[in-house]
Structure 1
Amino acid sequence: MKKIIITFLLLNIFVSVARAQWQLDVLESELNFVSIKKSSMAEVHHFKKLTGGIDTKGYVAINVDLNSIETNIPIRNERMQSMLFETNEFPVAKITSITDVLFVNDTPDSTIVKKQVEFNLNLHGINKKISTEVLVTKVSKNKFTVHSLRPIIINSVDYNLSEGITKLQEVAKLPSIATSVPVNFILVFSKRFE
């Protein structure tokens, strides 16, 4: 009987570990970019809704709700949604990757590691591979962060967004809007048990 109870307890522990996931903390995570208009006027924008996580095999999936764009000007938010991102057809940008970032499970708290990562960005119906360097920080046994080490440059031409930029430029009567933007992020993951 004792052997059965021990086996049952070990099985429960194994199942709990197998189901452990790293869930994206939507309140602490941020994805932002800088737009430049009139050649030199820079403004920072961000997305308010990010969801996703990392499964036990290291598969990363993050969704960026493009309708959650925040530029601090409501009419500009609406124009970017409808004219640039065309959210009626492409409401979400998807970031996916297979990563070995789960090494954090076996490292001490406060460990900071610089890593080269590759991920796929599906934006406006187009999928592109991106490589960048990130800083992974293990905050505690149940939390770690991933910071972009330097900005990632996203070119509108790569995602068929140039026409949308032209529309924004025309409606706002601007002489120019930059067609490439630097993107930065901080992703905070918390361990979750199902």
Structure 2
Amino acid sequence: MKALFATSLAATALLAGCAQEPAEVPLDGAWVLDGDRSQVSFVTVKASQVAEVHHFGEVSGSVSADGGASVAIDLASVETNIDIRNERMRDILFQVAEFPQAEVTAALDPADFTGLSVGDALTTSVDLTVNLHGSSATMPADLLVTRIGDDLVKVETAQPLVVAAASFGLAEGVAELQSVANLDSITTQVPVSVSLVFARDAADETAD
């Protein structure tokens, strides 16, 4: 009887432990960017010493099950907190009528992230292909990937990416902005910071 009772207690304890520590959900499958919780921002410096932070209001993207990542930035959604400057950025610099989006793509290795537990983070080095204003360039980047929930992942730049206007045919537009605003200078090297939240793709789960 005592042996049976002890066995029952052990089984109960085991079941309780299982209930308190559910199996970790693998970090795999397809993911969709949550635009409301994501942001792409950049810093400009004018007149040699006035730094200002701007951002884009509309960002979308996804990561496929095989690691193909794509992020699209709606350039018309640029927000500088000054309406006339927003208009000049859209029309003179980005020329959104002809080039409405910037697109960033990368190839990730899903095996690097599958075992990432909730609350854990890792830094990974990737090559980003940036398509902007009709030009394309590859930029190395260190990304901080944090699993913030069973079905949520945050991806951030470990340090800002420095984007050169000349690499994307934007130097002439910067010069025109400088002239229109009657400024002594505007930097043509722009630090860009990214913070993106991806949610597990429910459609992908349904398909499985």
- Superposition TM-score tier, normalisation by shorter sequence: 0.7 to 0.9
1:185 to 172, 189, 194: 194
Q: Distance in 1 between matches of 2:165 and 2:143?
A: 23
**Within 5 Å, which residues of 2 pair with 1:135-146?**
135-146=144-155
Q: Provide, for residues 63-90 of structure 1, a one-character-per-residue CA deviation record: whole Å limited to 9, x for no partner.
A: 0000000000011000000000011110
SS in 2 for 1:60: strand
1:40 deviates by 0.5
More strand per residue: 1 or 2? 1
The number of residue pairs the alignment matches comes to 177
1:102 deviates by 6.0
1:134 deviates by 1.3
Q: Distance in 1 between matches of 2:114 and 2:105?
A: 20
- The Cα RMSD (Å) is 1.5
Give the unaligned 5+ runs of structure 2: 1-25, 204-208
**Partner of residue 10, structure 1:** none
**Within 5 Å, which residues of 2 pair with 1:10-159?**
20-101=29-110, 103-159=112-168
SS in 1 for 2:84: helix
1:106 deviates by 2.7
**Within 5 Å, which residues of 2 pair with 1:164-175?**
164-175=173-184
Aligned-partner residue type, residue 85 of structure 1: F
- Normalised by the length of structure 1, the TM-score is 0.88
Aligned-partner residue type, residue 78 of structure 1: E
Q: Distance in 1 between matches of 2:74 and 2:192?
A: 16
**Partner of residue 13, structure 1:** none
User: Conserved in 2, the CA contact under 8 Å of 1:105 and 1:141?
Assistant: no
Q: Provide, for residues 71-129 of structure 1, a one-character-per-residue CA deviation record: whole Å limited to 9, x for no partner.
A: 00011000000000011110000011111256433321111101111110000011100
In terms of Rg, which structure is larger? 2
Structure 1's consecutive aligned runs of 4 or more residues displaced over 4 angstroms after TM superposition are none
> Which sits farther off after the overlay, 70-79 or 95-104?
95-104
